[in-house]
Structure 1
Amino acid sequence: MHLPEDYLSFLIHFHGTRDYFECHEILEEYWKETAPKERDSHWVGLIQIAVALYHDRRGNNAGATRTLAKAISNLHLKKAELRQLGLDPEALLDLLQLTHERMLLKKPYRSINLPINDPELLAHCQTLCKQNGYTWCMDSDCTNVGLVDKHLTRDRSDVILERAKQLSLRKLKIEDRS
């Protein structure tokens, strides 16, 4: 089974570091490079899971429940793609539904593990995790502010520069029309 390196990296961070923000960043970049127009892609569904758990861990219940509901709706239609990624789609959707119910009841955050049903993929991810000094399927460290509030400390200079560039281009187009 040949899978994208970005997906493997997503799995390592999801289960090894519980850095859901990084999971989101990794897969979003991959999705934008491969299928940016597919807003209902299975990649988007996986990104939504990571974003929902990031919000959940931070106590943003509204954001967590809304985002996980979108992931469930999206991935319900992507069972074949999930199987190709070595995941058990039925077990995943059951897990997401239970997690969503926990969120709706405003119960505390709990780490989840994606149901990888490909033994070769699982062994490979566990090896990569160990090589990077991570513990596979460890619980999230909710006291780690750098992990829990990562979005507050990231460098956004490249995003800001790109937005300024796009704004300048739009202004030039408007001026050219005048």
Structure 2
Amino acid sequence: MSKYPQAYIDYLIYFHSQRDYFECHEVLEEYWKEHPNDPLATAYVGCIQVAVSLYHQRRGNLAGAVKMLQSALKNFIESDLIKLGIEPDDFRAQLTARLAQLTAPDFQYEDLNIPLADAELEEICVKQSIEKALMWQCYSDFSNTYLINKHTLRDRSVVIAERELSRQTKQAAKRVKE
């Protein structure tokens, strides 16, 4: 049994073994929303923002990438990163360096690895990656257009239906108050 939530481990596997930054966002956001009082909630948001920044970087949306990375850096507190098994100084240095690279005219995307300080956490992630026939710290597959453009290619019917239901519920509640 790990001291980390499975959603966080899944995030790390998507991040390092599939480079599926969209799924990183999805899995950790769902956990974060289901656990609003988690003391590491702000750090989870920062992790989500790092994944979103990398998703934007890989697609060439550098303005979005910069915005997300700046926000992520603001959300990371050293003690929270330590609790997530991350080496805080190395991670912050990597993110700060990447932020500077993003404003250079010759920026070229490179994968980034989160420096894990907890060897047990990394062992769990590597083991689960192997069980899924994945390679830990693989490279992005730029030939996989679905992976690169997932937000535009995935089935959004469930999300759209949920938003419509939420909109209708709010309207009904507003009518009751009137």
Q: Which interval holds the TM-score relative to the shorter structure?
A: over 0.9
One-letter identity of the residue aligned with 1:170: K
One-letter identity of the residue aligned with 1:67: M
One-letter identity of the residue aligned with 2:91: L
Query: Counterpart of 1:100 in 2: which secondary structure?
Result: helix
- 1:98 corresponds to: 97
- 2:126 corresponds to: 126
How do 1:138-177 and structure 2 match up within 5 A?
138-177=138-177
How do 1:103-122 and structure 2 match up within 5 A?
103-106=102-105, 107-122=107-122
Cα deviation, residue 166, structure 1: 1.7
Taking the aligned partners of 1:105 and 1:135, their CA distance within structure 2 comes to 31
State the Cα deviation string for residues 18-71 of structure 1 (Å, max 9, x = none).
000000000000000001799x71000000000000000000011001111110
- 1:11 corresponds to: 12
Question: How high is the TM-score relative to the length of structure 2?
Answer: 0.92
- 1:50 corresponds to: 51
Aligned residue-pair number: 176
How do 1:61-72 and structure 2 match up within 5 A?
61-72=62-73
Cα deviation, residue 15, structure 1: 0.4
Structure 1: any 5+ residue segments left out of the alignment? none
One-letter identity of the residue aligned with 1:91: D
Cα deviation, residue 162, structure 1: 1.6
Name the Cα RMSD after superposition: 1.8
Structure 2: any 5+ residue segments left out of the alignment? none
Cα deviation, residue 5, structure 1: 0.3
Shift in CA distance, 37/162, structure 1 to aligned 2, threshold 3 Å: farther
Runs (4 or more) in structure 1 with deviation over 2 Å come to 173-178
Taking the aligned partners of 1:28 and 1:153, their CA distance within structure 2 comes to 20
Cα deviation, residue 81, structure 1: 1.3
- 1:84 corresponds to: 83
